Amino acid sequence: MGKNKLKKFAEMEQLPNVYQFPFAAIHDQYCELRGCWGTKVFGNDNPIVVELGCGKGEYAVGLARRFPGKNYIGVDIKGARMWTGAKQAHTEGLSNVAFLRTNIELIDRFFAPGEVSEIWITFPDPQMRKVRKRLTSTRFMELYRLILKPNGLVHLKTDSPFLYTYTDAMVALNNLPVEVNTADLYHSGLADDILEIRTFYEQQWLDRGLTIKYLQFHLTPDSPLSEPDIEIEEDTYRSFSRGYIQCPQLLNDKE
């Protein structure tokens, strides 16, 4: 492990807005903060918004800046990436954003039923071969139900045609109420100050001609969920540069 990464891990241990729990310490029990994030971490009862797979925390920090009346928690297992957002939030004195380092599969160990108002899923791995690992699969939807308020909001922002098509089909099959659905966010007229927050990689994809897809839907509390049985063309960026996925003309420009 590089010295820079070791330095970040050491600093993460000292940052007051970072919460880290080893798997061995939490896999068979609930976290002490479960049900108490508002009182013990933020000191208020404002709505809690969770960003899953937060990476460098651009969304968690960006949303916290814009909406001081909500509390934001970025969740990821990659501590070296999370350090960027945690350090920035601490430096700026943002008291309404925190970071949780853990596996998403354990999310119900950290949040009580109804404790979370919204979930953001920003540019996750589409997991084209493994449905159970897909963060918008029904397996994860059932997990989110355990922590979301009834009819809580789920946001998906992705560059992946595969994941967007799959999630759109899953939402339609299960009659989940949709608020926003677009396959080309920045040419839809829907982008606002929330959706305009762009991660480092998102800006790179946009510069290469990729379109960004966005889905916002309510997760109803009781109805059974079914997996869509459809064939979906896989994303070509798993084999080629992401810039060529939706812009084959770029290939001709290179010739």
- Return the active site residues: 125
- Alpha-helix runs per DSSP H in the chain: 3-12, 23-26, 58-66, 79-92, 138-145, 161-173, 200-207, 249-254
Coarse DSSP helix, strand, coil percentages of the chain, rounded to the nearest 5 percent: 40, 20, 45
Q: Is 193 helix (H, G, I), strand (E, B) or coil?
A: coil
Neighbours of 51 (CB within 10 A): 28
Whole-number Å distance between alpha carbons of 111 and 207? 37
Structure tokens at 190: 């829907």
Task: Specify whether the CB–CB gap between 129 and 163 falls below 8 A.
Answer: no
Write phi, then psi, for 52 (nearest 5 degrees).
-95, 135
